[in-house]
Structure 1
């Protein structure tokens, strides 16, 4: 028996080699084995088998007895993965401290400050394209605040939102309390929705990283010379997205379910 390619790739992503995966899975199906037996069943050369077994032992994937010849046994996958996660977290923490302690003083001496790229997006069509890009790229959490939601807009994004919801993406929508009840009902099928009065502006936040903030609804009055397009700002920056998310959550707490 063999494990799926998906499981193999997941094990590889944790840092296990092809030999280590073959040895561990052969033990799963055989329960216990000597080194020579493991070599035959896994296809790992005998000259390499002890190095592979030792690596798996150190990483917490297998254990052995004190018999002669020595027998090797698989640990439960859940315990093995947990042990690797702890090891990776410890390594990450250690490397983080080394990098920050040595490089931050150098960075601070330069006097440089990180400047996020912020783009101005004008026109409903261009804004709609950017909003759709953010929605489609979201993997975990999508926050949407819309003061006015035209029915045609809801119909156009409904399939995309449904697709995200089916993938397990958390979708939260804050809308004006003047929103049509049918529209609210349609959005509620794929998202958690709350209504709020006196909403000004709006925006979209994807995965606490991508943010688009609507600054104005535009104006085109033929009776005057004053006119301007709908304008929004867009950025891919965790700091700005975090600020926008905090404000969204502030409005959310005060909104009606």
Structure 2
């Protein structure tokens, strides 16, 4: 059974040349052959067959067995595909690290506008779930400003306790009247706290990117919903939100 044309096309996209394909296909069928027999069976010129075989060894498609004469056997297709994937990931990691900063520099210099998706969540139950998810999903940093303590903060105490176990750096700004609050005192080893007269909003920032701003209490007294949340996940909105938080934090 010969390899179908669509399979050959897919192999070429993975890096196989025409000669690579015919040699690999032949070895899969015959199991083990020397270079002269391979050249005869595949019509690959003998003057080029060693060059191509060495290339296939380097790419991880086949193995050379030393002897007189040396022979060649195919690697398992699974091993070959895993090797291609690993090589691709390695090259992607190296090359993306090289180009990322220069290209982002050009992007920052030239861009004038960019769209970002936002989500709006209505109702207390849906927004509390969303707040908890932002906290749970944080893996490096979490910043929060909470003005509606009774409505929001009391609902997320357990999630904040877990931040210490995950080694997430957490900073929270609350109303000054809560400095001696029981919930706050029990969380002193899980987060840093600062206090102010009246925090300006309810804002949660996870990992400097995932931002949730929640309006509740007096902010929505003229609306039918008891809570409205606006969430965004974008590097730029995260940067601006974190800058607002940092300026507030540093001045307390």
Deviations 1:188-231 (A, max 9, x none): 1311011011322121000011001124435787xxxx544222
CA deviation vs aligned residue, 1:10-42 (integer Å, no higher than 9, x gap): xxxxxxxxxxxxxxxxxxxxxxxxxxxxxxxxx
Instruction: Report the equivalent of 1:250.
Output: 247
The residue that corresponds to 2:11 in the other structure is: none
Distance 1:121 1:166, change over 3 A: same
For each residue in 1:89-145, what CA deviation from the matched residue of structure 2 results, as whole angstroms up to 9, or x when unmatched?
8744433378679x96xxx7xx99421111222222111111011111110001111
Q: Which residue of 2 aligns with 1:193?
A: 193
CA distance 1:95–1:187, shift in 2 (3 Å) = same
Match of 2:232 among 235, 238, 256: 235
Distance 1:215 1:143 in 2: 17
In structure 2, do the counterparts of structure 1 residues 167 and 100 end up closer, same or farther at CA, with 3 Å as the change threshold? closer
> In structure 1, what is the Cα distance between the partners aligned to 2:156 and 2:171?
14
Q: C-alpha offsets along residues 140-163 of structure 1, whole Å, 9 cap, x if unaligned?
A: 00111101312x855542332222
The residue aligned with 2:174 is 175
What is the root-mean-square deviation in Å for CA atoms of aligned residues?
Answer: 3.4
What is the TM-score with the length of structure 1 in the denominator?
A: 0.53
Rounded to whole Å, the distance in 2 between the matches of 1:235 and 1:183 is 28
Contact persistence 1:120–1:233 (CA under 8 A): yes
Distance (Å, rounded) in 2 between the aligned partners of 1:124 and 1:187: 23
Q: 1:95 and 1:117, CA in 2 relative to 1: closer, same or farther beyond 3 A?
A: same
Aligned residues: 162
What are the superposed Cα offsets for residues 66-104 of structure 1, whole Å, 9 maximum, x if unpaired? xxxxxxxxxxxxxxxxxxxxx998744433378679x96
Please state whether the residue corresponding to 2:178 is helix, strand or coil. Answer: coil
Label 1:92 to 1:148 Cα distance change in 2 as closer, same or farther (>3 A). Answer: same
Instruction: Name the larger-Rg structure.
Output: 2
Residue in structure 2 matched with residue 135 of structure 1 by the alignment: 135
